[in-house]
Amino acid sequence: MQAEPTFQITYTLTAWDYAAMARGLTRRPWRRSIVTVVLWLFSVWCLLAFFTDLYNPLTMINAVADSNAWLWLPAGLVVVALVSLATHWLAWGASFLSYRQIASADATITISFNDDAIHVKSNVADSTVPWASVKRIIREKDYLMLPISKREAFILPRRSFEHQKRFEDAFRYASAQISAGSAGAGDTHQ
């Protein structure tokens, strides 16, 4: 017998909801993005040093400026920097292109959760996922997201809650369940 749900919301999935999920799941900390850009720049420097036998970065910049590569190399570096720093915005934009291809596009979804699990019902599928499957909670201005993989998350739009307090209560409840699941999973491996 299923326990009475602690929280239950119903909403219709939109392209904006799907885009918010894509952005939330692909967002990285700024430090990691900066390290990625630095590694890309170091890799380019290594390649240029290998092919030109120039190791001084200033000498290398002057050589690039004097060659035919003066336009495409800086443009390529700008593209690499943008991709490294703004991956989540690229995923956000691409999600609008792929939204119509997902099975749950424009589906009415009911999400409920209690102490045992998260229950999802829609005209596409019904599923029950234990709290242990959710590793973290993503909180944004208009959404709570409960990721279950690198590409999927349960989306809880703020608009689907009766009022602000209910949204806050759902965040606290889900955070407590995820923490309890993480602590319980750690205890089983001892």
Task: Write down the pLDDT at residue 107.
Answer: 94
CATH of domain 7-13+105-183: 2.30.29.30
Which positions of the chain have pLDDT values less than 70? 1-3, 68-70, 182-190
Residue type, 189: H
Residue 184 confidence (pLDDT): 56
Instruction: Please give the DSSP secondary-structure letter assigned to residue 171.
Output: H
Confidence (pTM): 0.75
Q: What is the pLDDT of residue 37?
A: 81
**pLDDT for the residue numbered 187:** 43
Bridge partners, 111 (sequence order): 9, 120
